[in-house]
């Protein structure tokens, strides 16, 4: 049973079922000049428009990329100018932003990291202190992939633009789109990243949505596809999966949200009844899709493997950073190391059921108790 949906999700059946038709009608190269190429190009443009419409971003542009990681790199490297003096980034960003800005810091740019609150959201007071008129670029994620914290992007944009109206603001929306309401017109950011495989589309496809005023420099050069910003023949199948996944998720947002919220509430209530010692690191204003939770006295890796033997798959923090010890984000939340070492990330999708959550609780209870008993015997 899969409870690691913040790392990836199962592709929606509708997308799989429609693939044969997409392949029959649109396998052509969208840059080809004959009629079928043109038809494929028209289909591509329709999908681009529909994604923007679903995110209330009709005044924005959209560039398809090979992942959200690439879109995040494009947002940073594509807008970087020698005259940008200072870059502000939250310390809670995904490695695709965090490691990118560490690289540009090495290249001599001034990068400052904004602290997190205990609940994993960006510390607005720290942001206000660091937001000066010489900040040229900001990147702050919408929903944190480790703990589900939702950042108040509108407030951040208002503060930033009141200090420097020309500052470029990027937001990584990978864990937000299709899970909470995303209205780009209201958010008023300059750039927004999305990914298909977190919302039941294919792996290896994402997009950067951006304000028409932004002049993006390419980071991949070649045949000039995607308006000369991202060369390479467009991945029409992947793009179809992104378009359809966004459409399904946005149009079923409230139903899925209620379902997942119900799963989370059920999980916490039942877990409390087991008497196991645990600590939840996700606060009140967070996405119900992601939970960061410590099982006190257990090492996360061992518990994860024990659960895996019970056919339960959970994460121990972001899959992209799971090979590294410690956890930058939980540390920034001020969580003690003993709790970080016993922390698992449990993340739901629309496909999880109450029965599965029941089995999850049973398995956690069994594995934690077996684990603690073994340790007791050992000492």
In angstroms, rounded to a whole number, what is the distance separating the alpha carbons of residues 362 and 345?
Answer: 17
The site map against ligand PLP for 32-61 (x = CB under 6 A) is: ------------------------------
Does the footprint of ligand PLP cover residue 68 (CB under 6 A)?
yes
In angstroms, rounded to a whole number, what is the distance separating the alpha carbons of residues 70 and 64?
Answer: 10
What is the torsional sign of CA 89, 92, 94, 96? positive
Does the footprint of ligand PLP cover residue 146 (CB under 6 A)?
no
Task: Tell me, yes or no, if 320 is annotated catalytic.
Answer: yes
CB of 102 or CB of 373, closer to ligand PLP: 102
Using the rule CB under 6 A, which residue among 117, 195, 256, 363 binds ligand PLP?
A: 195
Distances (CA, A) of 257 to 11, 24, 51, 204, 323: 18, 35, 20, 25, 31
Does the footprint of ligand PLP cover residue 206 (CB under 6 A)?
yes
Determine which one of 102, 286, 320, 367 is catalytic.
320
In angstroms, rounded to a whole number, what is the distance separating the alpha carbons of residues 318 and 263?
Answer: 21
Does the footprint of ligand PLP cover residue 121 (CB under 6 A)?
no
Which residues within the stretch 265-324 sit at the binding site for ligand PLP (CB under 6 A)? 318, 320
Using the rule CB under 6 A, which residue among 79, 147, 151, 175 binds ligand PLP?
A: 175
Q: Please name every residue paired with 210 in a beta bridge, in sequence order, or none if there are none.
A: 61, 191
CB of 117 or CB of 318, closer to ligand PLP: 318
Does the footprint of ligand PLP cover residue 90 (CB under 6 A)?
no
Stretch that binds ligand PLP, among 30-38, 66-74, 252-260, 287-295 (CB under 6 A): 66-74
CB of 9 or CB of 342, closer to ligand PLP: 9
Residue 89 in tokens: 């980034």
In angstroms, rounded to a whole number, what is the distance separating the alpha carbons of residues 23 and 30?
Answer: 13
For residue 358, the minimal CB distance to ligand PLP (Å) is 27
Does the footprint of ligand PLP cover residue 174 (CB under 6 A)?
yes
For residue 327, the minimal CB distance to ligand PLP (Å) is 14
Please work out the total of residues on this chain that contact ligand PLP, with binding judged by CB under 6 A: 14
Q: Catalytic residue positions? A: 320
The contact set with ligand PLP (CB under 6 A) reads 67-69, 94, 96, 141, 145, 172, 174-175, 195, 206, 318, 320
């Amino acid at each position: 049973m899969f409870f690691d949906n913040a790392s990836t999700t199962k592709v929606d059946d509708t997308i799989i079922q429609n693939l044969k038709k997409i392949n029959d009608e649109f396998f052509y190269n969208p840059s080809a000049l004959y009629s079928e190429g043109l038809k494929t190009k028209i289909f591509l443009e329709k999908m681009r428009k529909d994604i923007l419409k679903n995110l209330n971003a009709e005044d924005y542009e959209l560039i398809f990329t090979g992942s959200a990681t690439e879109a995040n790199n494009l947002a940073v490297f594509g807008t970087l100018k020698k005259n940008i003096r200072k870059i502000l980034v939250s310390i809670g960003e995904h490695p695709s932003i965090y490691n990118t800005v560490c690289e540009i810091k090495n290249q001599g740019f001034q990068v400052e990291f904004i602290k997190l609150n205990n609940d994993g959201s960006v510390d607005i007071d720290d942001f206000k202190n660091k937001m000066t008129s010489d900040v040229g670029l900001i990147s702050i994620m919408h929903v944190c992939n480790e703990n589900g914290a939702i950042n108040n992007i509108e407030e951040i944009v208002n503060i930033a633009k009141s200090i420097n109206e020309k500052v470029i603001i990027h937001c990584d929306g990978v864990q937000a789109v299709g899970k909470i309401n995303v209205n780009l017109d209201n958010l008023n950011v300059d750039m927004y990243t999305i990914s298909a495989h977190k919302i039941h589309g294919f792996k290896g496809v994402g997009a950067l949505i951006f304000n028409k005023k932004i002049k993006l420099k390419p980071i991949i050069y070649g045949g000039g596809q995607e308006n000369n910003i991202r060369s390479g023949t467009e991945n029409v199948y992947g793009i179809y999966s992104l378009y359809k996944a966004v459409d399904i998720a946005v149009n079923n947002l409230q139903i899925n949200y209620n379902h997942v919220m119900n799963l989370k509430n059920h999980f916490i209530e039942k877990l409390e009844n087991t008497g196991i010692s645990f600590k939840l690191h996700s606060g009140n204003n967070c996405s119900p899709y992601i939970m960061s939770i410590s099982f006190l006295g257990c090492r996360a890796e061992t518990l994860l493997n024990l659960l895996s033997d019970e056919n339960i798959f959970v994460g121990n923090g972001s899959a992209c950073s799971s090979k590294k010890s410690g956890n930058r984000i939980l540390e920034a939340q001020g969580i003690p190391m003993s709790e970080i070492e016993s922390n698992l990330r449990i993340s739901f999708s629309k496909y999880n059921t109450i029965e599965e959550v029941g089995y999850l609780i049973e398995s956690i209870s069994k594995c934690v108790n077996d684990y603690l008993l073994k340790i007791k015997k050992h000492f």
